Chain A
Amino acid sequence: MTPTPRHQSSTTSPLPPNPYTLPPLFTTDHHTIGRLYLLLALFSVIIGTTLSLHMRLHLIWPGLNIERILPGSYLAIMTVHGTIMLFFVLTTAPQSGFGNLILPAQIGSRRMALPLVNAFSFWLTALSLLVLCSSAFTEAGSPLSGWTAYPPLSAVASAGPGQGLGMDLWLASIALFAIASTMSSINTLVTIIRLRCEGMTWDRLPLTVWGWFTAALLSILAFSVLLAALLLLFCDRHAGTSFFLPANDLVNGTLHTSGSGSPLLWLHLFWFFGHPEVYIAILPGMGLTSMLLANFARRRVFAYRTMIVTTLLIGFLGILVWGHHMFISGLSPYAISAFSVSTIAIGIPATAKVLSWLATIWRSRPQYTTAMLFSLGFVSLFITGGLTGPILAQPILDQYLHNTFFVVAHFHLIMAMAGVFALFAATYYWFPQITRSATCPGRLMSETLGRWHFATTLLGAYATFLPMHLTGLAGEPRHYAQLSGVPNAAGHLLADLLPLNRFITAAAIFLASAQLLFLVNLVRSLRHGQLAPTNPWQATTMEWRPALKNISPIHETNSRADVSDLKIVVYRSPCEYHSSLHPSSFTPQWEPEITLNTTDDDPE
């Protein structure tokens, strides 16, 4: 596609070379910070995946002693896997990574509202990751109490290896992360509220922005509570308090007489954070999926306003359902019933979203770009993982399924896999935005490799996580370091599950190896990828506005005259595709008149 002449005229004004470039690490440029966040997430996902393979191998092959290769017990590795994946991959990459890279452009702003805060929160996040990783190198290794860190296991240093210094480092790391996330969310919110360009009304905001917005609101509420909980736990460990320690707790031969607290309190505080957290991880992905499906199907998002409402509704209900993680932890059975109802209620806006996705692509003969494929994969995985949600939300069934691999299957499909699929879609789709610089218009990733990557990853994802439902239904509990060599009747129950688990491990290895395709593609395309045209996907949202390219915020401060020439105005809502006028016409948000931009060529 060739950009219309009027756009070219606006890009021709040459920008002065910028003399004040900071070394990329200390920059306050949101674009660079976004890339740093993505790099951090990529680094984390590599660690997290390696650890997950280690777990899978250990499960079927406990005698292998891979502990010699990677330090730490099964449980320590599992804790770090969960923590890294959830916090440093699925919270960081969509919300802070793509949030920084794309969000300002999508609302027609040239910068984030608080650049210094932005840089600071990145550095806090990096420090937090460093502290977490350092726990693996302490004498007793990382903590083993899981990402949920239930006390007293997490409150008493003698409760297990890693619960001493390792646990302290974990607490410090998560506290830093909570602060960093709060700051980054404040930045996101202020940017969205204050820096929208002229004409960018709330109902013209792309759904991605609504996802970021809702996730940021949730972050502010949830992470503060987590921080308070961490502080209390820290006091229990080191200041002689007992908020979470019951009276006369006898751990490992030592009696803690002074207690008067209750672990239940931690469960409440943690899940008040924990449940919103999982929605923080998925909401930006939901928004992106809506926009990409519409773009490649050349259709409006079906029921756009309903989508906005459901995004907010999911966020709101997400605050009220934390009790569904505590169905059988000794709450009053009446409270449980209330939590069950509110949890099932959250399935309704979620279903509305699924229906909108299905309706948007219904009979549209979309363009199967890699980004589109991954968005379709997101829909599929979200449905598959989401449907088991309402099952778990029924306390009587959860009394059988709680803490089995059925739950592991649920959250890996809907969170890990759907979330990662959204990340992949984002990477393939926005790669030109990631790679563009003053000298390069941005590159595209290889579509051929991308398709292979999609096919293998989808296959791997289902092969790995579908059978986990079955082992879970058969009674395989979570957090078990090994299935063989267990005494008693339990030994039989677990040993029977070994064959299926071997298959799961093999599938997981396949799934993880498939990611090499992605890495190869990524590394190759960074240098040698095809140069991207101005608007390679014929998108309607503002980040593809030609004049926005090649402008970094530093130029803005240098020559104000230029800036006012490039005033950014939005004239319409996103997704203006006029298939009734011409099969492939569209009008981007920045276009004043409805135009028939013909798209007779492929995005190649």
Chain B
Amino acid sequence: MPATITPIDTDRDRKRRVDDHDNGSGRRPPNDNRDKRTGGGGDGDNWNERPHGSRGPRERLGSYRLALFFAIAGDLMFFVALVSVFFVARTTGHFDAYNRYINEWLPTAIPPILWLNTAVLLLSSVTIELARRSMFHEQHVMEEWFGLGKPTSRRAAPWLIASILLGSLFLAGQTIAWKQLASQHVFFASSQSSHFFYLITYTHAIHLFLGIGALLTALFGLYTSRQIETRQILVDCTAWYWHSMGLFWIFLFTLLAFFQ
């Protein structure tokens, strides 16, 4: 038989709260109202005063954002590895038969169109941020939650489409840059620095390609998904991913433009 030793702090009666038993299924509107106690793990300040640990209207959004954060952290390590190899290769040479130290690094001149591309990518970050913000517009979220149409999605869609166009434009611009280099007979295998130029632009382009896929999915989701929270997640996570890729590009571009 269980014998009670001491009544413990955690078990004393708690005040019922509106949020109790809300497990993130959309019972409460997922707007940006900060005073809702949402997210978080089992601890933090006075957890025993709080309702259901991590339950809450924005539980799923928070989880997906966190997952994205870790994914991007991993991705960052990927690029960090490439960039360190870049620096190693740039600074090391080798000894030839006469015991002379040779450093064969010849910088690859970057095609000027990359500046334009960078501007386009920055612009796309702006449009996608506008799309993201419109998904959290307090009043529209409430309307949508009450079932009065899809105002957030309606407003976000054009910005998403703009981002897709700008993103594709960026990729097209990159293709032109590669073409221009090729016409100067600078190919992937041409020189040490061209390896890196192509490697960095290719891997980044693949990331953006996936990003455009995510944007298309988000756009598709805006029309087909029935839960506003799902739509928010799609747009929000795509936007953060896109921003990170933009940021990565700025670093990589700086590297290619100034540190060769």
Contact = CB atoms under 8 A, between A and B. Distances in A.
Interface of A: 4, 6, 107, 113-114, 117, 182-183, 185-187, 189-190, 193-202, 204, 220-221, 223-225, 227-229, 231-232, 235, 239-241, 243, 246-248, 260-262, 265, 269, 272, 560, 563-564, 567, 569-571, 581, 591-597
B176 interface: no
Contacts of A196: 41-43, 53-54
Given A198-B47, A594-B5, A223 B41 contact: no
| 8 closest residue pairs by CB, A with B | A240-B189, A595-B2, A228-B81, A201-B43, A224-B77, A196-B42, A200-B42, A594-B5
B88 A265 contact: yes
Interface stretch (B89-97, B128-136, B220-228, B249-257): B89-97
A325 B171 CA distance: 41
Contacts, number: 166
B221 to A, nearest CB: 14
Contacts of B189: 239-241
Interface string B189-202: 10010010001000
A597 B2 CA distance: 6
Contacts of B93: 260
Contacts of A591: 2
B8 to A, nearest CB: 7
Contacts of A182: 71, 74
Contact of B85 (A202, A223, A260, A265): A265
A235 B199 contact: yes
A397 B81 CA distance: 31
A105 to B, nearest CB: 15
B18 to A, nearest CB: 14
Given A560-B25, A570-B42, A194 B54 contact: yes
Nearest to B51: A198
A243 B104 CA distance: 13
B204 interface: no
A227 B62 CA distance: 28
B94 A269 contact: no
B82 interface: yes
B66 interface: yes
Interface residues of B, number: 56
B70 interface: yes
Interface string B23-43: 101000000000000010111
Scoring B21, B70, B79 by chain A CB atoms within 10 A of each residue's CB, the highest score goes to: B70
Contact of A220 (B4, B11, B41, B77): B77
Contacts of B80: 225
A593 B195 contact: no
A114 B78 CA distance: 23
A593 B2 contact: yes
Given A113-B63, A114-B63, A196-B54, A593 B5 contact: yes
Nearest to A113: B63
A204 B79 CA distance: 36
A247 B62 CA distance: 51
Contacts of B1: 4, 596
22 contacts: A113-B63, A114-B67, A117-B67, A182-B74, A193-B41, A194-B54, A195-B63, A198-B42, A221-B74, A224-B75, A224-B76, A225-B78, A225-B81, A227-B78, A228-B81, A228-B82, A241-B188, A243-B89, A246-B94, A261-B89, A262-B92, A595-B3
